[in-house]
Amino acid sequence: MSNKKIKSALISVFDKTGLEPLLERLISQGVILFSTGGTETFIRNLGHPVNAVEELTGYPSILGGRVKTLHPKVFGGILNRSSVPNDQSELEQFEIPAFDLIVVDLYPFEKTVAGNATESEIIEKIDIGGIALIRAAAKNFKDVFCISNKEDYASFIDLYDASNGAPDLAHRKAFALKAFHTSSHYDTAIFNYFDDKQAHLKLSVGTSKVLRYGENPHQKGRFFGALADLLEQVHGKEISYNNLLDIDAAVNLMLEFYEGKPAFGILKHNNACGFAIRETLAEAYQAALAADPVSAFGGVLICNKTMDFETAQAVHTLFCEVVIAPHYDEKALELLKQKKNRILLIQKQTLLPEQTVRTCLNGYLVQDRDSKTDQKEDLTQVTEVKPTEAEITDLLFASKISKHTKSNTIILAKDQQLLASGTGQTSRVDALHQAINKAKSFGFELEGAVMASDAFFPFPDCVEIANKEGIHAVIQPGGSIKDKDSIAYCDAHQMTMVFTGIRHFKH
């Protein structure tokens, strides 16, 4: 079977952007055009000949434009099979022209929903005829070429020219795949709008990227999503699966500190090994690095202010996989680019999905993102000793970091600097011992430090251990049936403790 030449096209698009070059190419090759409504008017205004669908069907556009192309003379022209003699005889019997190309751009349903439109406005943006055209053309891809996205106009023109107007079967099928993705994605968006109780899980992500491999070299990996909307890569090697997990952890953590004084974080295996707030970004980096200069090797670095040259000079001496900043000074960027594999990212926005999704057994777990940030007004003083303003600042600082650290976790902090963390331990006592030992190993004095826990203390052992190390201020969610034991110990030893009432498990 030879490649079928495109001789006629039915065009029905909402957005006319980029359509003119496509029309000119088709017209120049003698392709007969059919259209309706605003698209027909657009084509006529360009001075091109076009056949009105209404003249073909014998029916005008009715019901306020809801019904225009839904007619056997349209869909017969799309769904007929050139290899089936009976199909061709019926086309001749009912005077139905065969269509070789369908071009559709759907009503912007998702954009309308995002724009806080009324329900009636949203309903009217549910495309019926366009979806039907796309599905029919994609089903009959051997005979009909389907363009379902205006972003594909340019690639089609290149293909059209290269094939002398007769695209081969492989390209027809590839565009049919795109068409079915367009229709399924569109229907998913509509379904999710109606499923306001979120009783079903339907995901459709149009953009994906094949990764070098997954978590380990023997695993395949792919990222689904428009990463470029969030982050711009300005230098470095290809981002890996594990890089993405660390970047995700870093971006989520820094959201807690995005406003305010310069803050710098260093993460390794999804947990902060260094974090600090200072008057300058360079000072914040040095304080963050001091918490664990060993783990910082090969880590992911993130800051909340423009990366200046002074900070870049210090960062440049460290081997790190990724650096993330809202902006870079020209000299800072030039310096950091000297390491060819170092990934440099600009964080363009801070908006993240409202829900998280992960596989679990033979299904999926979906939950609201933990968007609660502990604030001063959330704190309940439960001990006789009241925390000082400086202690409250450090307690909230430590609590924010504990929220983004693997459970069970204990965070030790002082003067808005992470001293150490106990991460991912099976007991809270183990997490505390890990944090204490780590802080001491890097020369930190724990007298006057504060302690944060992601969940309540079931026993008073943690506050007792902390007190013996010189830690006298504690923040935790509370909620244990034995809270009174921990409170009693604090009162007996002049410690201060506040409850947040919010647990921040992270598994």
> Strand pairing partners for 355?
368
Tokens of 167: 């695209």
Q: Is 457:475 a contact under the CB 8 Å cutoff?
A: no
Does residue 422 sit in helix, strand or coil? strand
Catalytic residue among 7, 73, 139, 440: 139
The number of residues in the chain equals: 507
Which residue has 């559709």 as its token pair?
104
Which residue has 């993130």 as its token pair?
302
Q: Is 18:2 a contact under the CB 8 Å cutoff?
A: no
Does residue 66 sit in helix, strand or coil? coil
Catalytic residue among 261, 269, 337, 433: 269
Question: Which residue, 432, 426, 482, 436, is CA-closest to 453?
Answer: 432
- Residue 222 CB partners (closer than 8 Å, separation 6+): 208, 209, 210, 211
Looking at the chain, the number of H-run helices and the number of E-run strands are: 19, 21
Q: What are phi and psi of 107, to 5 degrees?
A: -55, 140
> What does R_g of the chain's alpha carbons equal in angstroms?
31
Active site residue 269: yes
Tokens of 491: 């009162």
First vs last C-alpha separation in the chain: 57
Catalytic residues: 139, 269
